[in-house]
Amino acid sequence: MDCFEWTPSGPRPLDDLLVARRAWRAEGRVVVTTNGCFDLLHPGHVRFLQQARARGELLIVGLNSDASVRQLKGPGRPLLGQDDRAAMLAALRCVDHVVIFAQPLANELLARLQPDIHCKGGDYTAEALPEAEIIRQGGGQVCILPFAAGYSTTGLLQAIRTGA
């Protein structure tokens, strides 16, 4: 599995975070996860991440690698490289850890982290969420948060391109 915890001083092995995760579980701390591309960070992302963090004591964000973003979004994406996207996410007070993963879906990462709660935006449903079964198998629950209307990376890109 190609994934690692991002830190400003360079990548850290995921195993270090997994050791900490086991300790948090033993302490009864609620770990929340989410995942996505987070290309062109916008207010909708920030509100979503704040809402996710409010559901637990630690927020771990799974971030799609550059290669997996290209796979999901097509050529020309991401706009910003994975290290830049990770740095911006990590700078947010509500984000405790950022993990970059290479697959299009975060299933392998989530199976290893076994979050207590996994949050996704309202553009998903719990039934259609690809990660839902992995979360439930690990004893966690899926939480769908309201979608921030008026904000999307695709919409912002269109507005930039058309000058709207």
Q: Which of 9-13, 68-72, 135-139 has the lowest mean pLDDT?
A: 9-13
- For the chain, give the mean pLDDT: 92
Domain at 3-162, CATH class: alpha beta
Question: What is the domain partition of the chain in residue ranges?
Answer: 3-162
Predicted structure pTM score: 0.92
pLDDT in tens, 44-86: 999 999 999 999 999 999 999 999 999 999 998 999 999 999 9
Q: How many CB atoms lie within 10 A of CB 75?
A: 5
pLDDT tens-digit readout, 90-128: 999 999 999 999 999 999 999 999 999 999 998 888 888
* Rounded alpha-carbon distances, angstroms, from residue 27 to 13, 24, 30, 31, 40: 22, 5, 9, 11, 36
CA distance 38 to 149: 16
Is 140's pLDDT higher than 80?
Answer: yes
DSSP secondary structure string, 73-140?
Answer: H-TT--SS-HHHHHHHHHHSTT--EEEEE-SSS-HHHHHHH--SEEEEETTS-TTT-TTHHHHHHTT-
Whether 143 has a pLDDT exceeding 60, the answer reads yes
